[in-house]
């Protein structure tokens, strides 16, 4: 199983990827998490991309490809969230998959209106210990520290109104048109991401079930 999750910022890509990877034992490849790990570790690469991340701009394609492609194991089961983010990345992904004799099982497009997304991002918290995503109201971090996730639970550097506006703009310009490409291949399923988190997970599991059985 090789699955892509597409969707605007705040639609729940990382929330769903982390739940699905846990439920199905998939490997979660999250471009955003990989980028933030480089920034937090203050690597040379991290320093070179921090500005793009904090402004809500796309990190240059050559950098993102170098980070992402080694993770796409031919034999593995993975769920990729946050990639591709433009046509050039989609072409590079296609070429890399063909070279490894891999085909995508399904592309899930999470859909929600911009108004819902900004409210979600406002309450988003991320665990510095696990990278796991929470929401102060809709998916609160575990209260008992030392439990599953010790935190701390912080706001992301790019969860500012300006960066979110730019991410949304880029989503509509660059990512949304990619859906037609996967639709033509017959592997796209659109999911209503306005529903509660657990319902969205169930809808995705339903969409993946024929591919998992096959």
Residue 46 beta carbon to ligand AMP: minimum distance, rounded to whole angstroms: 12
189, β-bridge pairs = 108
167 binds, among ligand ADP, ligand AMP, none (CB under 5 to 8 A by kind): ligand AMP
Contact between 133 and ligand ADP by CB under 6 A: the answer reads yes
Window contacting ligand ADP (CB under 6 A); options: 46-54, 57-65, 85-93, 135-143: 135-143
Name the binder of 131 from ligand AMP, ligand ADP, none, CB < 5-8 A by kind: none
Q: Which residues ranging from 20 to 79 are in contact with ligand ADP (CB under 6 A)?
A: none
Stretch that binds ligand ADP, among 21-29, 83-91, 132-140, 177-185 (CB under 6 A): 132-140
Q: Decide: is 2 part of the binding site for ligand ADP (CB under 6 A).
A: no
* CA 200 – CA 198 distance, rounded (Å): 5
Q: Which of 43, 196, 202, 210 binds ligand ADP (CB under 6 A)?
A: 196
Among 197, 205, 207, 211, binds ligand ADP (CB under 6 A): 197
58 binds, among ligand ADP, ligand AMP, none (CB under 5 to 8 A by kind): ligand AMP
Which positions lie near ligand ADP, rule CB under 6 A?
Answer: 7, 9-15, 120-121, 123-124, 133-135, 138-139, 193, 195-197, 200
């Amino acid at each position: 199983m090789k699955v892509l999750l597409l969707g605007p910022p705040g639609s729940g890509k990382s929330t769903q990827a982390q739940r699905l990877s846990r439920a199905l034992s998939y490997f979660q490849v999250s471009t955003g998490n990989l980028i933030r790990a480089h920034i937090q570790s203050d690597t040379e690469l991290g320093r070179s991309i921090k500005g793009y991340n904090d402004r809500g701009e796309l990190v240059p394609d050559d950098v993102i490809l170098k980070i992402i492609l080694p993770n796409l194991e031919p034999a593995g089961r993975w769920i990729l969230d946050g990639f591709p983010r433009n046509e050039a990345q989609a072409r590079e992904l296609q070429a890399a998959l063909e070279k490894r004799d891999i085909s995508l099982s399904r592309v899930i497009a999470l859909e929600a209106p911009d108004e819902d997304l900004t409210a979600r991002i406002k309450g988003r918290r991320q665990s510095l210990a696990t990278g796991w995503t929470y929401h102060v109201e809709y998916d609160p971090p575990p209260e008992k520290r030392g439990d599953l996730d010790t935190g701390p639970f912080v706001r992301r550097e790019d969860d500012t109104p300006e960066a979110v506006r730019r991410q949304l703009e880029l989503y509509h310009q660059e990512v949304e048109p990619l859906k037609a490409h996967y639709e033509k291949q017959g592997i796209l399923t659109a999911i209503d991401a306005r529903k509660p988190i657990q319902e969205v997970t169930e809808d995705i599991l339903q969409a993946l079930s024929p591919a998992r059985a096959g």
